[in-house]
């Protein structure tokens, strides 16, 4: 008996998603940053299970914080751009492997502290009031379906 194919990957259209890039003006710990956000919003961000990226030599852990907007029923997720922890899986025996014990989800944006993602198709990041003098304005950034971060966000959604 054959299993019926539910969908064909060639027929699925992958749409680009828009994320927000959050740059901090001051270097503060995550718990203090989210405490200040929770004070000035109706949102209650809390730490969720870390996003895990499996490399060849290391497993990288990226902190995630989520909150749900009561009225719009939208989920907002902050993901740390820089890994907070890494666990070595095997010893590097090759030179120039380009894999280190610290990883950035957006390698070309190392000054970004958090990646902001929403469950909405057309995100509106202005719903979140950010603390003054602590955060630069959120920059919209489009991810195409062939980027690695796009695949990771879709997996954790």
Note the maximum CA span of the chain. 64
pLDDT tops 70 at residue 8: no
pLDDT of residue 14: 55
pLDDT of residue 12: 43
Which band of pLDDT confidence, cut at 50, 70 and 90, is reported for residue 7?
very low
pTM for this one?
0.81
pLDDT of residue 17: 86
pLDDT of residue 63: 95
pLDDT of residue 94: 74
β-bridge mates for residue 139, sequence order: 21
pLDDT of residue 6: 41
* Distances 109 to 8, 9, 69, 76, 106 between C-alpha atoms, Å: 34, 31, 28, 21, 5
SS (H, E, C) the chain: CCCCCCCCCCCCCCCCEEEEEECECCCCCHHHHHHHHHHHCCCCCEEEEEEEEECCCEEEEEEEEEEEECCCCEEEEEEECECCEEEECCCCCCCCCCCCCCCECCCCCCCCCEEEEECCCCCCHHHCCCCCCCECCCEEEEECCCCHHHHHHHHHC
**Which of 68-72, 133-137, 145-149 is predicted most confidently?**
133-137
Q: Over the stretch 13-41, which tens digit does the pLDDT of each residue have? A: 457 888 999 999 999 999 999 999 999 88
């Amino acid at each position: 008996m054959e299993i019926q194919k539910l969908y064909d990957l060639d027929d699925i259209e992958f749409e680009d998603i828009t994320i927000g890039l959050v740059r901090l003006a001051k270097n503060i710990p995550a718990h203090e940053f989210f405490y200040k956000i929770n004070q000035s919003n109706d949102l209650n961000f809390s730490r969720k299970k870390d996003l895990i990226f499996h490399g060849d030599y290391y497993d990288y852990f990226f902190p995630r914080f989520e909150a749900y907007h009561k009225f719009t029923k939208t989920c907002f997720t902050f993901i740390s751009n820089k890994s907070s922890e890494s666990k070595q899986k095997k010893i590097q025996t090759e030179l120039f492997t380009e894999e280190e014990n610290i990883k950035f989800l957006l390698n070309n944006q190392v000054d970004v502290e958090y990646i902001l993602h929403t469950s909405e198709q057309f995100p509106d990041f202005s719903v979140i009031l950010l603390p003054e003098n602590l955060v630069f304005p959120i920059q919209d950034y489009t991810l195409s379906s062939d980027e690695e971060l796009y695949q990771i966000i879709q997996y954790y959604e």
